[in-house]
Each structure stands twice: as C-alpha cells, then as structure tokens.
Structure 1
Amino acid sequence: MFIQKYYQEFEIGEERTTIGRTITETDIVMHAGQTGDFFPHHMDKEWCKTQTFKKRIAHGTLIFSVAIGMAANVINEVAMTYGYERLRFTHPVFIGDTIRVKISISNKKDHKKPQYGIVTEKVEVFNQYDELVMFCEHLLLTEKKEG
C-alpha cells in the first residue's frame, strides 16, 4: 500500500503489528548461500546437539532481513530509510518458529535540512511464545509539510 505521511502526521506511540511468518530450513540454507555464513550454528545439526540450544539457529541477519521486509507493507512516498540503530538479537530463532513484528513510533526530531525530520520506529520481533527475539530502531528521513 502506498501512502504519503509527512513528519508532522506521525504520533509518538502509534503502532502496528504484522502477520506471522514461519522461518524454515530453506530460509536458513538460502541465507547462508547468499551471505557465505555457513557457521555450524546454522548448518550443522549434529554439532548443534553439543551446544547450549541443542539445535540449529537462524542467522541474526536473516531474522533482521525478514522482519524489516515484513514491516515494509506500507510504502511512504515521502519518507526513506535513514539507517538502523541499537540492533540486538535477544533470543535465538529456530527452524519452525513463527515471528511477527511490532512497529511503534518512539521519537521524532528535526533534521539538519529543515525540510526533513527524523522519525524513529521501534522495531520489535517476537516468536510464537511472545518472546522478544530481536529489536532495533529504524530511522526514517521524512519530508515535512510546507506551511
């Protein structure tokens, strides 16, 4: 869906939540191939049995990529990604886990270019047990309405 939402129209505290997405073994294998990250934590089922979690875990970068893609169901024509801050992976995601993303507006501030503002979206990713598995801040460079 395409919208035009200007800096002044964002409200601190407004939020939205995505539908779920199950992480599969195929996701992990494809991500390993795309990134070159074939660490045994993701790829070696037998080795993982000797480790803390006892099974393979999804790449943090995979969860970040999928979560941000899930959150991109609204395309704001007057805003663009300025960057990400405070990225943390707080709990492992396993094959078969289903994640959902909660996006909430946590801050707004002026940009050095007066026609723009920075809107901060808090991005929280939860698994099917409602455990927080990842969070970050997404910074949006957003046009201001004239006048």
Structure 2
Amino acid sequence: MTTPTQGPAQSSGRQAVHYLEDLEAGQTFVTAARTVTEADVVGFAGLSGDFNPIHTDAEFSAGSVYGRRVVYGLLGLSIATGLLDRLGVFSGSAMAMLGITEWTFTAPVFIGDTIHLELAILGVRPSASKPDRGIVERRFTLLNQRGEVCQRGRIDVLVRRRPA
C-alpha cells in the first residue's frame, strides 16, 4: 500500500494509481497547492456563461459583503478535482463519479488564494454485482493558505479492482 502524502509542502507529486484493493477507510491524501488566478476566474466565466458581478466586476464587488471579487464556488470545486487528478491516485482506476453530497461552501476563495485538497477515504466496498469494481466513499476538504476550510463534502467514486 502507498503511504499517503503528509502535507502540501511535502507532496511528492504524482502517486501510483490506486485500485480498490489499495484503499481503506482512514487513509488520507493531501495534494500540492495551487494559487487561484484572475485568468481562472475569467476563463470560468466564459466557460460557464456566468458573469455575475460578484465574480467579475471589481467596482461592484467592492461594495459587497466580501469587499472584493469572490471566486465561483463551482470553480473551487473544479480546482479540487483537478488537484486530485494531479495527485494521480485515481487516474486510470476511476470509472465514474457517483455523486456530490453534503457539499458546503464554508469560507470564500479569493483571487490570489493558494488552495489545496485534503482527501479522506471513508469507506471501500466491492460491487455486489460486478466483480471488477467497487465503491470508494471520499470526503473532500478544500483549504486556503491560512488553513481555513473553504469547501467540503463527499464525492464517491466507482473504482476498478486491480487487473489480474
């Protein structure tokens, strides 16, 4: 079994692909960190078609509760899944995302924040009907550079079993 990464500053980059047999409840993984940029926000606005001024208008958002533009919540979630992919744990073994549940946005992410993902394995179970796969229950926690939790929730995934 691969030793989980210890922290964003110690992330060793891409890890080996983990199959169902390589995972167990209680394992944790920590990704490298990434700074959210102006280009990320502009690109997400163009891709999503969401140009809400709280995200795109500096003058408007200066008068908001945040006092500045706030990053799209769904952009934070998208970056979290990208950070997980960069880690490599599920790259090649994941078959399908099964759902996003219990997701909460607990603190804003701002342009210039440096965020990382902490992933906890909550449970692992083989499929009752398909012997080549199983379900991995995962808790995502997205944190900023101050260690504040910005988002958290579950994203369970269907994962391949180790090839024979």
1:92 aligns with 2:105: no
Aligned to 2:44: 31
Paired residue secondary structure (1:68): helix
**Partner of residue 79 from structure 1, selected from 59, 76, 94:** 94
C-alpha distance in structure 1 between counterparts of 2:71 and 2:47, whole Å = 14
1:118 aligns with 2:118: no
The percentage of counterpart residues that share the same residue type is: 31
C-alpha distance in structure 2 between counterparts of 1:105 and 1:82, whole Å = 15
The verdict on how the C-alpha distance between 1:9 and 1:43 changes in structure 2, with shifts beyond 3 A counting, is same
Unmatched tracts of structure 1, length 5 or more: none
Unmatched tracts of structure 2, length 5 or more: 1-13
More strand by proportion, 1 or 2?
A: 1
The Cα of 1:66 is off from its aligned counterpart by 1.0
The Cα of 1:7 is off from its aligned counterpart by 2.0
The 5 Å alignment of 1:1-147 reads 3-73=16-86, 74=88, 75-83=90-98, 84-115=100-131, 116-144=133-161
Q: TM-score, normalised by structure 2?
A: 0.80
Paired residue secondary structure (2:141): strand
Paired residue secondary structure (2:18): coil
Superimposed CA distance per residue, residues 4-62 of structure 1 (whole angstroms, 9 cap, x where no aligned partner): 53323311111111111111111111110110110011011111122111100000111
Q: TM-score, normalised by structure 1?
A: 0.88
Name the Cα RMSD after superposition: 2.1
The Cα of 1:144 is off from its aligned counterpart by 3.7
In the alignment of these two chains, the number of paired residues is 147
